[in-house]
């Protein structure tokens, strides 16, 4: 005999299944992170900046990286959900002294423009094609930041090529090298752990677990 299910029962069953699914952990969160699979321990690792009682999460990124562009949207929501003891910091992947995006980042940081311009640069590269993903010249970068509030193109260009920016660029390069960064985006927790997840979503789930580990070890 054919048994049929009324629409009311189907709706009730569907609602129950959705409620059950909401209670189940996501795949990225249903196991403790595994060393050398989900993360790597950084030998003699050091944080980017003094911790001052906080847990540091550094994203090593590049404005030219499309994965970093997509990851930024996830990072925005994730950062808003963090406790006050977590400090999220962006560090450009300064693999070359000629990286004009990295120079622009540090110049903007020194001039108090970084927070305002961070998303704008991503948009200019990946949405508006205002800047190329690679090979953008210093004048092009400086001109863009001038549009975003820098005093002038020439003043921003001077900041990009200053000794202070050279020092920051060298520090970022050293941080990436000692942390074992090979690509972007990469998250570094307290200078001790490098997240090596297989997806952007897993990256944040594993970061949450490593943050909890650092908090418990205080």
Q: How does pLDDT run across 31-71, given as a tens digit for each residue?
A: 899 999 999 999 999 999 999 999 999 999 999 999 999 99
Choose among 213, 103, 108: nearest CA to 169: 103
pTM for this model (two decimals): 0.85
Domains identified in the chain, total number = 1
In a domain, 29, yes or no: no
**Alpha-carbon distance 47 to 192, whole Å?**
7
The reported pLDDT for the residue numbered 30 is 62
In a domain, 186, yes or no: yes
Which secondary structure element, helix H or strand E, spans residue 193, and what is its range?
strand 193-195
In a domain, 15, yes or no: no
Q: End-to-end CA distance of the chain, in Å?
A: 65
Q: pLDDT of 100-145, one tens digit each?
A: 999 999 999 999 999 999 999 999 999 999 999 998 999 999 999 9
**Alpha-carbon distance 14 to 6, whole Å?**
12
In a domain, 9, yes or no: no
In a domain, 180, yes or no: yes
Q: Are the C-beta atoms of residues 131 and 124 closer than 8 Å to each other?
A: yes
> The CATH number of the domain where 179 resides is what?
3.40.30.10
In a domain, 75, yes or no: yes
In a domain, 40, yes or no: yes
**Alpha-carbon distance 3 to 200, whole Å?**
45
Q: What is the span of the domain harbouring residue 177?
A: 35-216
């Amino acid at each position: 005999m054919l048994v049929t299910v009324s629409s009311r029962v189907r709706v009730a069953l569907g609602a129950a299944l959705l409620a059950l699914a909401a209670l189940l952990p996501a795949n990225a969160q249903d196991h403790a992170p595994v060393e050398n699979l989900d993360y790597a321990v950084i030998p003699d690792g050091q944080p980017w900046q003094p911790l001052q009682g906080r847990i540091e999460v550094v994203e090593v990124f590049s404005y030219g990286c499309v994965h970093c562009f997509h990851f930024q949207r996830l990072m925005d929501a994730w950062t808003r959900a963090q406790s006050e003891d977590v400090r999220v910091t962006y560090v450009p992947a300064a693999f070359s002294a000629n990286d004009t995006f990295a120079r622009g980042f540090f110049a903007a940081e020194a001039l108090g423009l970084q927070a305002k311009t961070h998303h704008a640069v991503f948009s200019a590269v990946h949405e508006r094609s205002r800047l190329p993903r690679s090979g953008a010249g210093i004048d092009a970068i400086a001109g863009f930041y001038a549009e975003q509030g820098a005093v002038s193109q020439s003043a921003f260009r001077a900041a990009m090529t200053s000794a202070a920016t050279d020092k920051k660029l060298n520090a970022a390069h050293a941080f990436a090298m000692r942390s074992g960064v090979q690509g972007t985006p990469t998250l570094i927790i307290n200078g001790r752990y490098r997240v090596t997840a297989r997806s952007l979503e897993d990256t944040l789930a594993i970061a949450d677990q490593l943050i909890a580990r650092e908090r418990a070890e205080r």
